[in-house]
Amino acid sequence: MIKVDISNVWGQLSLPDLLAVEQEVAAAHETLTNGTGDGNDFLGWLDLPVAEETEEMKRIRRAADRIRSNSDVFVVIGIGGSYLGPRAAIELMQGCNHNIGKGRGNPQIYFAGNTLSTRAWNELQRLLEGKDFSLAVISKSGTTTEPAIAFRALKWLLERKYGTDEANRRIYAITDPAKGALRQMATEEGWETFVIPPAAGGRFSVLTAVGLLPMAVAGMDIRQVMRGAFEAKEQYNRVRSFENPVWLYAGIRNLLYRNGKTTEIMASWEPGYKMMGGWWQQLFGESEGKDGKGIFPVSVEFTADLHSLGQMIQQGERNIFETMIRFDAPEQVAVVGSDVKNLDGLNYLAGKQLDFVDEQAYLGTLAAHVDGGVPVITVEMGELNDAKLGELFYFFELCCGVSAYILGVNPFNQPGVEFYKRNMFQLLGKPGYEK
Ligand code: PA5
């Protein structure tokens, strides 16, 4: 199990405070698993993890093998929940620079359709020049503007390069099983398709083909990802007490919120975690931020951001708490070297493992922030591997569902997202959106 350490929140909260919310946490977890709360038609994600490999997963692996063998580059088109999960997974497991040195047999993976930037589009076109490529287009609704524009342009590039028949063999659509423009196009053009279950909302869809196809193309073992998620589903739904880290995390963050801590900073110590921070931000932000309520989720990367936001965290407005994510050190160690001249004065660290230095930075930061009045929750992940990744996804999804019900909001809708779209469509003159 993932470990949630709350020993660094006690300056601000007490054990009786925690025990006082136990019934609320229990009720929220019941509401979620019994399907009696608001948004209960979007609970399909709860049972996505399975012990045995499904036919859909086998098909995903076959498609991934095909893409790996015939493409130098794989472009994944999507936005929000149809984008953040796969990118987070790949960057956490393989690093932000995972594309370096990749090509046929292990294609580079780029993400598109998550911006309207012309510069980003021009850059992608340059990256694709002279390359064999395939596309995955991910959209549950099938009508989201950003991915639809990117897909139209990339499909055109693909058709121009290969002709219509081969282009159609290189397009994979991940969408609703029956509804939407993308489903209709896929049926008409004969693209291979994978399903986003109607009962799994976008930000809870990473354990469907949305996340699994890109992960498999990146060479990850999606059976292990699912195994970890399945074990998480079994364990974290069985234990109904504060021995369950889901209860601790969901309960404590709500208690802190009630005590004026309206911003949660998720701090990781791995550059590869940055997009995972983005996935978590969307999961909690879109699920909880409504009805005038919600903890504002912000993600940072230490030690880099200690040199930017560190000052604010240490001495700014005291409305924040931190959740620090820690992983075990990797097997391959790095050691600080010795230098005869020692002009940089670093010889006091010579022979020390880099991870030891990182650990002291973590402990020093933790103590400083707690002294500065910032309660810190530490999430100890243990070893980082494909199964742990699956566990982590399910863990945070479950925490989010429980936490939002404690907060008293529907975790599974996002009515606020429509406002910018309505204005944009009006300005763009989309039929049906006239003033
Ligand atoms: O979590 C959500 O539901 C959203 O972030 C969606 O995933 C996002 O808006 C993309 O929607 P779609 O998959 O319909 O293109």
Whether ligand 1 lies within 6 angstroms of the CB of 226 is answered as no
Contact at 8 Å (CB) between 363 and 303? no
Distance CA 60, CA 194 (A): 8
Q: Which residue has the tokens 């550059």?
A: 271
Distance (Å) from CA 191 to ligand 1 centroid:
21
What's residue 434's pLDDT? 84
Mean pLDDT for 393-408 is: 98
Q: Which contiguous run of DSSP H or E holds residue 265?
A: strand 263-268
pLDDT digits (tens, 9 = 90+) for 35-85: 999 999 999 999 999 999 999 999 999 999 999 999 999 999 999 999 999
Q: What is the pLDDT of residues 23-47, one digit of tens each?
A: 999 999 999 999 999 999 999 999 9
Residue 139 CB–ligand 1 contact under 6 Å: yes
**Pocket probe mutation, ligand 1, options 41, 79, 145, 196, max atoms within 8 Å of Cβ:** 79
Catalytic one among 3, 293, 352, 421?
A: 421
Among 264, 286, 322, 397, the one annotated catalytic: 286
Cis peptide bond prior to 303, omega within 30° of 0? yes
Atom of ligand 1 nearest to the CA of 175: 13
| Residue range 7-18: mean pLDDT, rounded | 94
Residue-level pLDDT at 218: 98
> Is 352 marked active-site?
no
pTM: 0.97
Residue 435 has pLDDT above 80, yes or no: no
pLDDT band of residue 174 (cuts 50, 70, 90) is: very high
Mean pLDDT, residues 394-415 taken together: 97
Told to judge if 286 belongs to the known catalytic residues of this protein, a careful annotator would answer yes
Per-residue model confidence as pLDDT tens digits over 239-291: 999 999 999 999 999 999 999 999 999 999 999 999 999 999 999 999 999 99
Q: To which residue do tokens 């987070």 refer? A: 88
Indicate if ligand 1 lies below 6 Å from the C-beta of 183: no
pLDDT recorded at residue 410: 98
Q: What SS3 class is residue 44?
A: helix
The pair of structure tokens assigned to 203 is 């930000």
SS3 content of the chain, % helix, strand, coil (to 5): 55, 15, 35
Q: pLDDT band for 115, please (50, 70, 90 cuts).
A: very high
- Mean pLDDT, the chain, rounded, equals 97
Distance 309 CA to ligand 1 centre (A): 30
Alpha-carbon distance 246 to 89, whole Å?
Answer: 21
| Active site annotation includes 179 | no
Indicate whether residue 141 lines ligand 1 (CB < 6 A).
yes
pLDDT of 12 above 90: no
Task: Determine the average pLDDT of the residues in 108-129.
Answer: 98
The Cα–Cα gap between 126 and 377 comes to: 44
Per-residue confidence (pLDDT) for residue 377, from 0 to 100: 98
Expressed in angstroms and rounded, the spacing between residue 201 Cα and the centre of ligand 1 is: 7
pLDDT recorded at residue 33: 97
Statement: residue 21 has pLDDT above 90? yes
Q: How far is the CA of 70 from the centre of ligand 1 (A)?
A: 29
395 C-alpha vs ligand 1 centroid, how far in Å?
21
Query: Ligand 1: which of 42, 82, 288, 418 to mutate, most ligand atoms within 8 Å of CB?
Result: 82
> How large a percentage of the chain has pLDDT more than 70?
100
Terminal-to-terminal C-alpha distance of the chain: 54
Q: Residue 291: left (phi > 0), alpha (psi -120 to 50), or beta?
A: left
Rounded distance from Cα 176 to ligand 1 centre (Å): 12
Q: Is the beta carbon of 144 within 6 A of some atom in ligand 1? A: yes
Q: How many degrees, rounded to 5, is the angle at CA 351 between CA 346 and CA 356?
A: 85
How far CA 235 is from CA of 179, 354, 391, in Å, comes to 34, 34, 10
